[in-house]
Amino acid sequence: MYLVTVSGNLLIVLAILTDSHLHTPMYFFLCSLSLADVGFTSATVPKMIVAILTHSPAISYAGCLTQMSFFLLFGCMDDLLLTVMAYDRFVAICHPLHYQVIMNPRRCVGLIAMSFVASVSESLLHNLLILPVTCFKQVEISNFFCDPSQLLNLTCLDTLTHDTIRYLIGVIFGFIPISAILFSYSKIISSILRVPSPGGKSKAFSTCGSHLSVVCLFYGTGFGVYLSSAFSTSSWKNAVASLMYTTVTPMLNPFIYSLRNRDMKGALQRIANKIASHL
């Protein structure tokens, strides 16, 4: 699964970089999302594979914090990039005549940079909360990676401070992005329904289908992890839910975008033909 995830996402990146037909804002954001997916799954799965092969699930304090930092960085990048891609689709469908002006290269790079800075900030915030704590020696974590929520539960913060920080992070990096996505798609659907021709409606919906599928998969598994950790005391169920979130979702994203996107399928076919011609 890990090899499929990495190779699939890197193939998407290769197709976008080498095909001039895909040098548009939508595919620029998709390229960034694929790279974030590679980093997201690479933050947890290689360590799990090593633990399985060596029968040694232990991880150092520094290693645990490093793993948590990259997990949060790339996970937040996924979250914010999906929001940016929803905004891109909103501009393309609701303001098509101004699309090239609004989604100019400078703004696209700025949106990616803002997403990266926000993701680094969230990762640093968790580290600032956990680094002062020195009571992590010989602690057992009921998951296959250093889950940030479980590490926060082990800190010596009082309950009020702990809950305030958790809810604040949840609002900034959870509620606001999903609200922005829902708002964008409410405007998109409203605009599509006003299109008179059935063919125009179908084409408009097809441009959003892949992104909407990935959004549902990402947030569906994310909420599944949250509900599993909140209402289930089984560490096995929590680990399975986390595996779906950290491994299955990044693995399926390339298939969703390649199978549901005519331009992407064309680019991948051209890459295959070039490889075949050199063999």
CB 145 within 8 A of CB 64: no
Q: Percentage of the chain with pLDDT > 70?
A: 85
Check pLDDT > 70 for residue 228. no
- Give the residue-averaged pLDDT of 65-88: 92
**Which residues, 6+ apart, have CB-to-CB distance to 115 below 8 Å?**
32, 77, 80, 81, 84
Local structure of 217: helix, strand or coil: helix
CB 15 within 8 A of CB 267: yes
Check pLDDT > 80 for residue 207. no
Determine the pLDDT at residue 245: 79
Local structure of 239: helix, strand or coil: helix
- Token pair in block for residue 186: 């409410």
Count the Cβ atoms, other than its own, within 10 Å of residue 194.
9
d(CA 239, CA 241): 5
Determine the pLDDT at residue 260: 67
Give 130-138's long-range contacts (Cβ < 8 A, gap of 24+): 130/65, 130/68, 130/155, 131/65, 136/61, 136/64, 137/61
- Token pair in block for residue 247: 């491994």
d(CA 255, CA 258): 5
Q: Go through the domains of the chain in sequence order and give each one's CATH number.
A: 2-278 (1.20.1070.10)
Q: Which residue would you say has higher pLDDT here, 236 or 44? A: 44
- Give the residue-averaged pLDDT of 135-142: 72
Q: Decide: residue 244, CB within 10 A, 0-12 exposed, 13-18 middle, 19+ buried.
A: middle
Give me the amino acid identity at 244.
M
pLDDT one-digit tens code per residue, 21-59: 889 999 999 999 999 999 999 999 999 999 889 988 888
- Give the residue-averaged pLDDT of 154-163: 64
- Token pair in block for residue 259: 């199978």
Determine the pLDDT at residue 155: 66
Any idea what the Cα angle at residue 77 is, between residues 72 and 78, rounded to 5°?
100
d(CA 105, CA 107): 6
